[in-house]
Amino acid sequence: MRGVKKTSYGIAVYGMTESADDILTWLCNAMVRSRGGDRPPLMKLFGSEPPSRLIEEIYMEPRSSYRFEKTDGTIILKAPYGSSYFMNLCVNERDLSSAIAELARTEV
């Protein structure tokens, strides 16, 4: 994430992770999960839950135990138990730019 890498937030993320996959999943979590209290996520996440191919908003609050996982060269959002997962994950490009800017301003 070019906009975050050289900020104090980015330095912390890169320092606390072991691989590029860890960095990617850390940043995904930072952008789409609630930020505590009454602060909403930085952006909405969309995807499809197989067998459906319909892209819909994924409401993260009831899926707090789901984890991002890289598999077969793509990222999915997977339930910790069972076989439930979301694929074809996407976000609004404008929301992504705003989220990156917000993380870049975040001090750790």
Quick: pLDDT tens for 53-100: 999 999 998 999 999 998 888 999 999 998 899 999 999 999 988 887
Q: Are 27 and 65 in contact (CB under 8 A)?
A: no
Q: Does some domain include residue 94?
A: yes
Q: Does some domain include residue 3?
A: no
Q: Does some domain include residue 23?
A: yes
Structure tokens at 92: 């609004």
Q: Does some domain include residue 1?
A: no
Q: Does some domain include residue 2?
A: no
CB atoms inside a 10 Å sphere around CB 16? 11
Q: What does the alpha-carbon distance between residue 89 and residue 103 come to, in Å, rounded to a whole number?
A: 20
38 Cβ contact partners less than 8 Å away, ≥ 6 residues apart: none
Q: Are 44 and 80 in contact (CB under 8 A)?
A: no
Q: Does some domain include residue 15?
A: yes
* Predicted local distance difference test score (pLDDT) of residue 5: 60
Q: Does some domain include residue 45?
A: yes
Range of the domain at 14: 8-105
Rounded-to-5 percentages of helix, strand, coil across the chain: 35, 20, 45
Number of domains the chain is built from: 1
Ranked by mean pLDDT, the top range of 37-46, 52-61, 98-107 is 52-61
